Amino acid sequence: MARATHGWTNALFEAAVNQTIANSKVTVGYPYYWYNSWSLSYANGEAIHEESILESGVLQFTYSVAAALSYVQPCFSGDAFCELLGHPVRRHGNIESDDAANMAMASLAYLPLDVSMVQSGRLFGTRYGGNTPVFNSNDYLRVGWSYLRGTGEYGFRVAGKALDWLTSVPKTHWWIWGGPQ
């Protein structure tokens, strides 16, 4: 995974994160690395926000998850920057061995955000506009949004041949949210 490649210093990244935290009164949050850009997913009250504070086009920045986490302030109080479970983010961890765990945590943090993006989500979105959502492009099992012409709305469904054993009706769609109603 790439390290700082564009002259960004630890201090600049830390300042950017801290500024976001200060502006939004973050109580719990998690930074994640996704498609060559850095984002910060955090909770503010009951709302879940996502800030692409270090989008490559804006701040020309590339970091590995673990490397960047090591620049994040530890969790001192309710106003600190913590992992999802409230544990302090490690400031000086083993960068290589932490990558998998960090990516897993980052993915979990990203799930609700992606679902809320409906058609443009990179995990559960539709295939419009050349999008190739990870869980909604598979040939045999698709989980994600689908546009229903009948109602003109998007529904969240699980569908695919892999589910045919569940029912006598092939190609059944299991609507989790929305859909015909």
Partner 1 sequence: MEDDKVIIWAGPPPCPRTRFEAEVIRELEALVRALPAGTASLRIGRLRASPGLLEPEFDITPANPRAASVGGYAVADDLELVIGHAEQEFFRFARGGTIVRGASWQDELRWVWEVVVAGGFTQRQYFNKRGKLVGGYSKICLKGTEVVFSASRPQRLVGRAYASVKDVIYEPYF
Give contact residues for partner 1 (rule: CB under 8 A). 119, 126-130, 137, 139-140, 142, 146-153, 159-161, 169-176, 179-181
Length of the chain: 181
Q: In what order do the strands lie in the sheet with 37-44?
A: 28-34, 37-44, 47-54
For 49, the token pair is 């926000």
> Which residue number, 10 or 137, has a Cβ lying nearer to partner 1?
137
> Which residue number, 80 or 157, has a Cβ lying nearer to partner 1?
157
Q: How far is the CB of 115 from partner 1 (least distance, A)?
A: 16
Helix/strand/coil for 65: helix
DSSP category for residue 164: G
Separation CA 166–CA 154 (nearest Å): 24
Q: How far is the CB of 164 from partner 1 (least distance, A)?
A: 11
Separation CA 81–CA 40 (nearest Å): 10
> Which residue number, 3 or 161, has a Cβ lying nearer to partner 1?
161
Q: How far is the CB of 107 from partner 1 (least distance, A)?
A: 24
> Which residue number, 5 or 138, has a Cβ lying nearer to partner 1?
138
Q: How far is the CB of 135 from partner 1 (least distance, A)?
A: 13
Token pair 């983010």 is at which residue? 89
Q: How far is the CB of 123 from partner 1 (least distance, A)?
A: 17
Contact yes or no for 115/156 (Cβ under 8 A): yes
Separation CA 59–CA 65 (nearest Å): 16
> Which residue number, 76 or 147, has a Cβ lying nearer to partner 1?
147
